[in-house]
Structure 1
């Protein structure tokens, strides 16, 4: 019996140490949030643009839609899932839809797919409208980015064909071009199936909040606003041209005999970019693509002729895979290590720069912005037209929280950080470069040499919203917010 008190004492000691570790960790976490927030806000406030007589101008294309936001697990029944989750390039049946949704749900990965079965699509829309928490909003990369630029004080020209009802969602100060004015327009509808972090769907659990987008578009794949936007670009003379919405061409039936209508439309996109003076910066907003032929078109008709590319972690992995190996990567890590993302950014930068040379482009890629759940990473070439990289990363981070929480305020009780105390800048075992996270100076920036150019890389932590209200459109708002501070007026 003499050993009993010792054993009990050991257990108590262990419990005290265990509690102390977690108490210290909680205190450390809480202690980091406030200074991170304050410094991000400081960088944003000290670098405002878009006011007075120096109002910068942005033109955006192409397309718009009506977004129908649906609680995914309210609409879908996991008992209807027959077989294992599976990826499909396009959706033609209810079975394929369920398998495809579950495939991305279990990874917590964003996805966007075309449903070729119009009758089934209409049926799903009808079912969604019967759910109590379903809501409508304006959708499409270009309109969402346009709204963000407008909020930040920019003058905006939007290329999109939309009905009068859909136009009512757009601030009146935004100039919309894309139709003939009198024609009756039927808006495309996108279904946004949202789910929360740790939500369950049958035996599967999502590692993070995200969304699965499905569409059955008729207007957007044809880039019907392209020509109208081109007519207005001459007099508008933008500081920035944003190319987006090209993922709507994914798996759309463009072939007409030997004629490839998609290639023809993308050639016109290329000509539109080339029609702009070199001092009008061009940005391409990446998205979820699965059609390899379309992606290969992008690598010859769009990417060689833009100054900037924006994307999330899934899109980065996919673009890197297509450029390096000519293969589509359907799903990737939903929360990649900083080192992994930075290595992919560097490789993507170098591969697109080679495309610049191969295509004799007057433009060179000088900026990449990658937005992830945990951090923002922006790479810019020093001496290029892009300015204020550090502040841009901070603003993108703040916008991520505000948009997802659907609040202008940053409430610390709705924040968490996933970025570690330090991170490697590369996965290369021969390079031991590490950056240590400082809560009072949370945006880390450093110089490197890539492709014979000195580049500036900045990484900012995201104050992740723990009570997500919005998921679809987050990337568009984040990407636009990063651009807002980087264009020299």
Structure 2
């Protein structure tokens, strides 16, 4: 009690001294010192209001979007709870490119849980996977959802009533039942059984043994041969003649990685040949996902898909891995530490568009747009003159990340927080420009050569209900608000 009384007395003396030393001191400052102030709207409120004012659809919108080719049923379950039910003990984390046993699963899960990072792996043993899948489906609180990047993107696009969506992939009876009725599925995509993916989620601060998750995320694994071989790709491309889309969204390349080099090397060539049959005037967005084989990623970048797509979507793990596989900027980084540095991210995005895109007037590549997303912020990097409405598109992606993670239709500022850096640089190396976040105008824009960058902060959900599919929703929303400009000669 005496300490509290002394503190009050000291505060009173301090205020008295300040007033007598400067009688002109404004009363509002004295009131702020001596009495608690009512809460004022924070940056979260300002950003949320700015989003509502500034996010507008482009003048030219997509009318028919074709999405393929990975689709499945997601079984979402507590990762720690399921592993405990499988009678495995916590231990040391260790990454595995392919999972062969419950022990591999446990080690890989702990490895990524300790980092709060998302990952996806192939489980090679079909019988062991099926036993784990049965245990997951029977675990208390387990939930079944539409899964697979293509199906999730299709579901998000189908929320726009004036948009026709074609989904092609291995669609079994359970998945077909769960899909939005607005989604069209070609008859050749229907199959008798569903493909299941297991999603092991963990919460921010959740602990298992000595491992504590710094943020909420998930670990995905499956034994999925149909998606792994992209068996629906040719059916997908063949269906485009009749559907006549004005945008194609392609995903599922990462699923082939676990099939072995001999299979993916041949299948990639066939996939490129099939995708090359899509009319040149139809833009293609490629959605990337977690991979571990640098040789496989290098094939996608240099010899295969990257030059024939118009746009790509990826997160921080995929961005750094892409740079490591191609010898790009900051490839010596083992992993990001905390929120990825904006300058480093900007360097890698610029490198991709300069090395594999159409930022060079002499390049024949189609790639002109990259949608990068991480927990705290998103960046849209586009070749000048190729895309419009990108400020609204990057804000729309950030907004859906906030609402979907919290399970809400609109932003609740009491449930989100701003974690984006307030100040950052346009590059990690010289020349670099110091930039700042302005909540009232929540898109920071800068240019490097022929590439324009739009950065938007994310209002991060404090207690996310579900993290699966956020990247797919972000990319889908960003595409809805994007406008492809008529190709101009350089």
> What interval of TM-score do these two structures reach, taking the shorter chain for normalisation?
0.7 to 0.9
SS at 2:435 equivalent: strand
Structure 2 equivalent of residue 143 of structure 1: 151
CA distance in 1 between partners of 2:126 and 2:360 (Å)? 40
Deviation string, structure 1 residues 420-447 (Cα, Å, up to 9, x no partner): 322222212x445122221111111123
TM-fit CA distance, 1:10 = 11
How many residues of Structure 1 are paired with residues of Structure 2 in the alignment?
461
CA distance in 2 between partners of 1:189 and 1:82 (Å)? 25
TM-fit CA distance, 1:455 = 2.1
SS at 2:286 equivalent: strand
Structure 1 equivalent of residue 127 of structure 2: 119
SS at 2:447 equivalent: strand
CA distance in 2 between partners of 1:482 and 1:343 (Å)? 22
2:45 to 16, 27, 34: 34
Structure 2 equivalent of residue 274 of structure 1: 276
Structure 1 equivalent of residue 207 of structure 2: 200
TM-fit CA distance, 1:337 = 2.1
Question: Cα 1:93–1:398, aligned 2, differ >3 Å: closer, same or farther?
Answer: same
Question: Which residues in structure 2 correspond to 1:409-488 (within 5 Å)?
Answer: 409-428=410-429, 430-449=430-449, 454-488=450-484
Say if 2:289 and 2:318, in contact at 8 Å, map to a contact too: yes
Deviates more, 1:290-299 or 1:408-417: 290-299
Deviation string, structure 1 residues 21-66 (Cα, Å, up to 9, x no partner): 9x999968x521111001112222x32678xxx6522111112111
Superposition RMSD in Å:
3.2
1:311 maps to 2:311: no
CA distance in 2 between partners of 1:97 and 1:467 (Å)? 26
CA distance in 2 between partners of 1:65 and 1:25 (Å)? 52
Question: Which residues in structure 2 correspond to 1:264-413 (within 5 Å)?
Answer: 264-299=266-301, 300-324=303-327, 331-333=335-337, 335-353=339-357, 362-384=364-386, 386-413=387-414
CA distance in 2 between partners of 1:354 and 1:376 (Å)? 22
2:237 to 227, 230, 236: 230
Structure 2 equivalent of residue 263 of structure 1: 265
CA distance in 2 between partners of 1:191 and 1:372 (Å)? 23
Q: Which has the larger radius of gyration?
A: 2
CA distance in 1 between partners of 2:37 and 2:176 (Å)? 49
1:213 maps to 2:220: yes
CA distance in 1 between partners of 2:49 and 2:7 (Å)? 44
TM-fit CA distance, 1:328 = 11
SS at 1:311 equivalent: strand
1:251 to 258, 280, 283: 258
Structure 1 equivalent of residue 247 of structure 2: 240
Question: Cα 1:143–1:82, aligned 2, differ >3 Å: closer, same or farther?
Answer: closer
Say if 1:178 and 1:225, in contact at 8 Å, map to a contact too: no
CA distance in 2 between partners of 1:440 and 1:415 (Å)? 17
CA distance in 1 between partners of 2:37 and 2:444 (Å)? 22
CA distance in 1 between partners of 2:318 and 2:9 (Å)? 49
Q: TM-score, normalised by structure 1?
A: 0.86
Say if 1:197 and 1:206, in contact at 8 Å, map to a contact too: yes
Structure 2 equivalent of residue 131 of structure 1: 139
Q: Which runs of 5+ in 1 are unaligned?
A: none
Say if 2:356 and 2:365, in contact at 8 Å, map to a contact too: no
Deviation string, structure 1 residues 277-318 (Cα, Å, up to 9, x no partner): 322111111110012332232121111211111101111101
TM-fit CA distance, 1:475 = 0.3
Say if 1:86 and 1:100, in contact at 8 Å, map to a contact too: yes
CA distance in 1 between partners of 2:37 and 2:324 (Å)? 38
CA distance in 1 between partners of 2:58 and 2:232 (Å)? 31
TM-fit CA distance, 1:263 = 2.5
Deviates more, 1:346-355 or 1:86-95: 346-355
CA distance in 2 between partners of 1:273 and 1:38 (Å)? 41
Q: TM-score, normalised by structure 2?
A: 0.86
2:172 to 156, 163, 167: 163
